[in-house]
Amino acid sequence: MISETQIHTIARQMLEKHGLQAIAQAAQNALACERKGETEEAREWRHVEDAMKIMRGPHQS
């Protein structure tokens, strides 16, 4: 299991490297893990996805 600190580090690095596309990539990674039955890995990718959404901030209208 990945620590909360590691989740946020991964999320920040992905956002820096891929921009907002990183959120979609994390979601795709989670879905791929779910399809393979890798529930813990999928849960971690969902956690990374959620952390990136928080870092991104609220939507602008």
Per-residue pLDDT tens for 14-37? 999 999 899 999 999 999 999 999
In this structure, what token pair is assigned to residue 6? Answer: 């590691």
Task: Record the pTM.
Answer: 0.88
Q: How far is CA 37 from CA 10, 19, 34, 60, in A?
A: 22, 28, 5, 36
In eight-state DSSP terms, residue 20 is: T
Which pLDDT value is given to residue 26?
Answer: 97
Decide: 48 and 26 in contact? Cβ < 8 Å: yes
Residue 1: predicted pLDDT: 83
